[in-house]
């Protein structure tokens, strides 16, 4: 490996997203012109030929091939162990870097050092806003608005949809609670001080936990619209119910880790009401309106509710199974 200074280590964790991952790598290289970068890709035992295709990419990324899927959080931890950059950039495989977004995000970070964690703006392929670039922390209020449906009815309201910063087009620089892991920049020294992602989070919630722990160190995460990427979203998930089960497990874990002890039970009860009330409301509307789409959505939420034993208590403590990573190989290019 070259001993020259590296500004940014770009970390990508892929799972059966071959073509998207290749384009994410190509776009990162193509649009990063002012910084020295390295790209480290962890392939989570993909079955679509991703690893071989990544190894053959002309950018010659460092490739870590896994023999089992260890999830997003542990995958990034593994990649970060190889990182040599001043900054670590987490980049989802289902993204396209546009208009020098990485250059601009690092420039924003250098101008706002106290934030310690930085993110940009994400859009869908058609240019519409993808609001999932940042979030407010889970609160009692936003759990109530989710459970009652107010967050969905008043999606553009900063009061009733506060978790998603409703009504804000992500078109201004702003301090936020949580920067999404799809496009998250952090100094490598801060990442190391935090110990990276908590391995208890298999997928979803790990960046929320990281940001909340960083805030205890004085971090004030920020986002900027000047650094914009395309984020398709959900490319690794086969079903909506599968995604929601993981997401609810992550939220339950966040409540357990970051709420005062006396409020955890109430928070997890309100979290349980979310899929239950969605199922009941959609089922009622489907029967009244004879709407097949609502009927199918009701079935999905019913399946999520019926699987509550899998998520209501959160993710199990991963410390016991995290003594060492699974067998792997590392290659630079070929």
Is the same domain home to 15 and 74?
A: yes
Q: Are 115 and 175 in contact (CB under 8 A)?
A: yes
Do 141 and 256 lie in one domain? The reply is: no
Q: Which of 163, 188, 189 is nearest to 177 (CA)?
A: 163
Concatenating the DSSP letter of every residue in 252-306 gives: HHHHHHHS-HHHHHHHHHHHHHHHHHHHHHHHHHHHHHT-HHHHHHHHHHHHHHH
Is residue 99, in this structure, part of any structural domain at all? yes
**Is residue 87 within a helix (H) or strand (E), and if so which, with residue range?**
strand 87-91
In a domain, 325, yes or no: no
76 and 34 in one domain?
yes
Beta bridge partners of 118: 185, 222
Give the CATH number of the domain where residue 228 resides: 3.90.550.10
Instruction: Give residue-wise pLDDT tens across range 159-186.
Output: 999 999 999 999 999 999 999 999 999 9
pLDDT at 327 over 50: no
Q: What is the pLDDT of residue 224?
A: 98
- Binned at pLDDT 50, 70 and 90, residue 321 comes out as very low
Question: Tens of pLDDT along 86-135?
Answer: 999 999 999 999 999 999 999 999 999 999 999 999 999 999 999 999 99
State whether 68 and 212 are in the same domain. yes
Q: Could you tell me if 232 and 20 are in contact, meaning their C-beta atoms sit under 8 angstroms apart?
A: yes
Answer with the one of 236, 262, 287 that is the final residue of a domain.
236
The answer to whether residues 143 and 284 belong to one domain is no
Q: Are residues 20 and 45 in the same domain?
A: yes
Determine, yes or no, domain membership for 49. yes
Q: Is residue 192 domain-shared with residue 178, that is, in the same domain?
A: yes
Residue pair 74/199 in contact by the 8 Å Cβ criterion = yes
Domain end among 236, 262, 292:
236
Q: Domain check: are 273 and 286 in the same one?
A: yes
Structure pTM?
A: 0.91
Q: Which domain holds residue 305?
A: 240-316
What average pLDDT does this structure show over 66-70?
Answer: 95
CB burial class (10 A; 0-12, 13-18, 19+) of residue 219?
Answer: buried
Same domain as 272, residue 192: no
Q: Tokens in use for 24?
A: 């994410």
Q: How many domains does the chain have?
A: 2
Q: Strand, coil or helix: what is 215?
A: helix
Q: Which residues partner with 115 through β-bridges?
A: none
Is 123 domain-assigned? Answer: yes
Instruction: Let me know whether 259 and 203 are in one domain.
Output: no
Classify residue 324: in a domain, yes or no. Answer: no
Does residue 1 fall inside a structural domain? Answer: no
238 pLDDT more than 60:
no
Confidence (pLDDT) at 240: 80
The answer as to whether 332 is a domain residue is no
Do 217 and 253 belong together in one domain? Answer: no
Say if residue 177 is in the same domain as residue 102: yes
Domain assignment present for residue 323? The answer is no
Res 328: pLDDT: 42
């Amino acid at each position: 490996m070259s001993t020259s200074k590296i500004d940014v280590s770009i970390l990508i964790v892929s799972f059966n997203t071959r073509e998207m991952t290749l384009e994410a790598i190509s776009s990162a290289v193509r649009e990063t012109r002012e910084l020295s970068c390295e790209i480290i890709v962890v392939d989570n035992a993909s079955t679509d030929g991703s690893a071989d295709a990544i190894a053959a990419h002309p950018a010659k990324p460092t490739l870590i091939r896994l023999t089992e899927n260890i999830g997003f959080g542990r995958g990034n931890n593994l990649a970060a162990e190889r990182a040599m950059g001043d900054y670590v950039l987490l980049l989802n495989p289902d993204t396209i870097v546009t208009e020098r977004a990485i250059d601009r995000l690092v420039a924003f970070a250098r101008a706002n050092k106290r934030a310690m964690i930085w993110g940009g703006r994400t859009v869908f392929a058609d240019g519409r806003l993808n609001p999932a670039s940042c979030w407010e922390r889970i609160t009692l209020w936003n759990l109530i608005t989710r459970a009652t449906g107010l967050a969905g009815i008043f999606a553009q309201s900063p009061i009733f949809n506060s978790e998603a910063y409703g009504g804000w087009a992500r078109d201004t620089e702003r301090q936020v609670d949580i920067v999404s892991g799809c496009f998250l920049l952090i100094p490598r020294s801060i990442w190391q001080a935090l110990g990276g992602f908590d391995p208890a989070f298999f997928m979803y919630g790990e960046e929320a936990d990281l940001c909340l722990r960083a805030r205890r160190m004085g971090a004030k995460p920020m986002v900027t619209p000047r650094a914009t990427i395309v984020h398709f979203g959900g490319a690794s998930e086969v079903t909506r119910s599968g995604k929601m089960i993981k997401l609810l497990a992550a939220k339950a874990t966040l409540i357990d880790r970051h709420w005062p002890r006396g409020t955890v039970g109430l928070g997890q009860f309100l979290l349980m009401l979310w899929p239950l009330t969605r199922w009941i409301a959609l089922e009622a509307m489907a029967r009244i309106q004879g709407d097949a789409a609502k009927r199918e959505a009701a079935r999905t939420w019913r399946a999520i509710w019926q699987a509550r034993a899998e998520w209501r208590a959160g993710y199990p403590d991963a410390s016991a199974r995290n003594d060492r990573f699974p067998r792997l190989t590392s290659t630079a290019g070929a």
